[in-house]
Structure 1
Amino acid sequence: MAKKWQSSPHTIADIREWNNNGTLLLQPDYQRREVWGDAARVMLIDSILNDIPMPKIFVSKAIKDMRTYRSVIDGQQRITTILTFLNDDFELKGPYSGPYDGKKFSELPEEVRDEFLLYSIDFNEASGLPPEELREVYSRVNKYLVPLNRQELRKADFPGEFLKISEGLASLDALDDMGLFNATARRRSLDVEYVSELLAAQLRGISDKKDAIDECCRDYAAWPVAESAATCAEFEKVIADIAEIFDSTYPMKKTRWKQKADFYSFFFAVLELKRSGLALPADLSFLRKDLTLLDNLIAPTSEVPILSKYAVYCVSQANSASSRSWRMAFIRAILRGSYAGSIDDKEQRDIVSETARDIWFALNSSFNGDGCSSAEGFDGGYDEGEMNLGRLILYWPAGSSVFQLSNAKWAHSMCKDDVDAAAIIEGAEIPGVVEDDYGHEDGDSDGDH
């Protein structure tokens, strides 16, 4: 029985000749239409210039009209990259950092071009295989030989400080305690990719740019020690705060907050609060109650509109800049009640009041009316017509040091003067300038209300 497969080396000059005379078929109908990024293309050329071997290329051979035709089974992107470089379609640039930076093939020294053309690649060549067997080979090569993911490729493409620091931060014990990564994610470097994404946004702001990590890998490959140390310290302080909130009594790994979309927004909410000079108080009990309440109610089908919206933004376009920013603002508003020890920020008041209102009308029992002389039966004794927002206030009792949903109370507007409150929100909304029960206009208090 004749051998179906033969192993033979061919030079880049051979590949160029096959392509020029039309005997090379790069994309059979079963091939995936994948396009490498600039970094992958540049680093392949760098490997060739440094005479580093590459994996075998699989092709099928057939004789037609006395000529040998080759159809690529596996290796399309490598061959395409080589041919486009030979055609001067791209130049060597970052992450390349060798002596030919900025040069195209035709601009390389003659001896370097000759060595490039003589670079040898091992081919596995099949002869006489029917189309169904070729498809089976393609399927097996791509199914059972696990390809490198983007983060694994970055390790080869972008050596430098940014990636090194991302790897160090990904190994923080606190991240393991939070349950962010499973064993498979760790094994495939997906933990490093996620931390790199956080680090990139920490440096450049929340975005949905798919190449943000690559850009930071390139731009911070050489990262001054003082700058990188400051960024690492800030990152670790945010993680320390999150670990304090989700301690052994309330472990993150048992909540929705360990999900990547939730944690991303949580991280940047804490980061912004800390950058504002705020810090966590000693008493986190009401904050944890809030987070538990939200964890239980957030769902796309939630009867609480704002929490349904949050859940949808976690699954629909979860990585868009707008979804990420909205989720971050929501979480920041909830956290600020403990971080700032006040309810004096307009965005915070708007979000907290909308959340409180939505939960009230969905559950009609989440908040009580203690301290309100006309609040008897607030757990359902009033018909819907009497429960309009214009007749309700949301308040925090005098002496409150944190301002969370869980320690807020309801009262009727008519009883506003009867409640002893540290802060009040009229109607669970802020339709305009609202006076608190000390006669100050919103934003004009001395900080105690």
Structure 2
Amino acid sequence: MFDVHAIRKEFPILSREVNGYSLVYLDNAATSQKPQQVIDAIVDYYSNYNANIHRGVHSLSQEATDAYEAARKKIQAHFSVKHSHEVILTPGTTHGINLVANGFSSLLKEGDEIIVSALEHHSNIVPWQMLCERTGAILKVIPIDEDGVLKMDAFDTLLSKKTKLVFVNHISNALGTINPIKYIIDEAHKYDAAVLIDGAQACSHIKPNLAALDCDFYVTSAHKMCGPTGVGMLYGKEEWLEKLPPYQGGGEMIAEVSFEKTTYAGLPHKFEAGTPNICGGIAFGVAIDYLNNIGFDAIAAHEEKLLKYATKKLLAIDGLKIYGTGTQKTSVISFNIEGIHPYDIGTIVDKLGIAVRTGHHCAQPIMNFFNIPGTVRASFAFYNTMEEVDKLVSAVERAKMMLQ
């Protein structure tokens, strides 16, 4: 049985007050809150077996190494990855994207083409622009329609023998649109193009099967999945990871070092230079266990109810417009009220204890498409309730009355 009130008790922060009101946390697309199990895992590491990994013969180092590598195995199983060495533990999604972009600098030539979508976070735009500047490759963009949905007929037209790379997010952080990534992957592979999927916004809502998707790279961050900040995952097919050069030099990523020549370690260590976020990696594994214990079917069902209820209630407010109205979307609602700046709405609802995000959400091309400065974004998680939706709607109505 899915008991949201029992679940909420496992998140210490959800019991606090903000400005004298019970916290209503609706900024989950920016970062999720952490259950006590994850917090305890971090405290346990630093309290009982803090040590560097892979390098020590003493007991603490071996305990830390075992726990860290066990977390890698959990990530491998969760995402249905064939080999554990195809799981690279990173500081987060942005790092993983930059790692791949840097690696392709030596694989592209002038006139090659890479494709991104108009729905991307800046982290999945800027690295590819930098790659094009370094290599002379050409950046192509899949456009969107007024519902915030990718125009797949345009994507089909963009694909050619010149296409070497395709990058698209699984779910839009700004609009909640779920992209048809399986179609994109399959069509790109017909042209032997590699595909990277930015899964940062997807993995708290769904459980991607990377073997079935057959993408070449997939990136995500733990902090969107009830885990800690500063740690994430890059999945790469073995054959692609072997082709890419190391992203950083240092300890751990080497096999032999001399002043004449250095040889690199095998996967995954080739891409894991230096001391990693050890407790973060361990806690990432704990967060995955936690989410799987609740069950992604139960999470999806509850969040769908929240999305439908909140959409209906918000649209009843005169002058309110929702951006991102495709039929396939997750529990994110971006909206504005005619004549009111989104920042002003966000400021007032914060005074009532409600956390939403305002601005362009690191997705300025989307805001430019709709010709708006930004939106108010309410993003829901499995620990949110219908009562919190009612509080949001009441707060938005109050803000409208005060600002108009």
TM-score by length of 1: 0.23
Q: Which protein has greater RCO, CA pairs closer than 8 Å, 6+ apart?
A: 2
Higher strand residue share: 2
